[in-house]
A and B are shown apart, each in its own frame.
Chain A
C-alpha cells in the first residue's frame, strides 16, 4: 500500500482476530467477519483464531431459518477469495467441545495451545471478539 503523504511504501501489518464466542447468541462472531473483510481490503496480513466457544462458529450444517436470522457461516468459506487463508483452531478448545476438524465447514490449521500462543506473540495487532 502506498502512503501518498510520505511517498514511502508501508509494510502490511500482521493482524490476528481472536474469536472466542459462539456464533448466534451474541453479535461478536459476525462483527469479526466484518472486520476481517475490511482488513483484507487494505491488503493487511490477516489471520483468524478460533478459541474456546469461537470454535462453534465453524461447525458445518448451521441452519438459522428457525430463528429468522441470517446464516453467516458460509462467509467463512469465502474468505479464501479475499486472500484470508490463515485460519487457526485451538486443539484443546475443539476437542473439549466434542468436535473434529472434519466437523468444520472450512480448512483450518489445528494448533495446540502452546503453538497458538507463539503465533500470537508474532503479531502487530490483536483484536478480540
Chain B
C-alpha cells in the first residue's frame, strides 16, 4: 500500500493518522507541505526517523527544493522526482491520500 501525505504535520493531523494506520512494509510518500515532516532538527524528525525503520519513506525533490529544504532532510528517506512518483503509484495498491 502507498500512503501519500501532502500537509504539514504541524498544521494538520494527516501524517499522524497515516502513521497510526500504516502497516509495516507500506510506502509513505511526502509531497507538498508534507515534506516538512522530514526536516532535520524539527519536532517531527525523530518520529519519522523511527517510523522509517518499518515503513519505506519517500519525499518529492521539487517540493523539497521549493521550500529551501535541500540538504536538510533526515536520513532514511528516499528522494524521488516526478517519474519516481509515477513508479510508486503504478507499483502499489491501494493508494491512500491523507487529507
Contacts and interface: CB of A to CB of B under 8 A. Distances in A.
Interface of A: 21-25, 52-53, 56, 59-67, 69, 71, 73, 96-99
B80 to A, nearest CB: 12
Q: Report, nearest first, the 8 A-B pairs whose CB atoms are least far apart.
A: A98-B41, A66-B62, A25-B33, A98-B42, A59-B68, A61-B68, A62-B68, A96-B43
A62 B67 contact: yes
B65 A66 contact: yes
Contacts of B69: 59
Contacts of A71: 66
Nearest to B71: A61
Interface residues of B, number: 24
B3 interface: no
A77 to B, nearest CB: 14
A21 B8 CA distance: 9
A63 B42 contact: no
Contacts of B41: 98-99
Given A53-B33, A97-B36, A25 B7 contact: yes
Nearest to B9: A53
Interface string B5-49: 011101100000000000000000000110010011111010000
A35 to B, nearest CB: 21
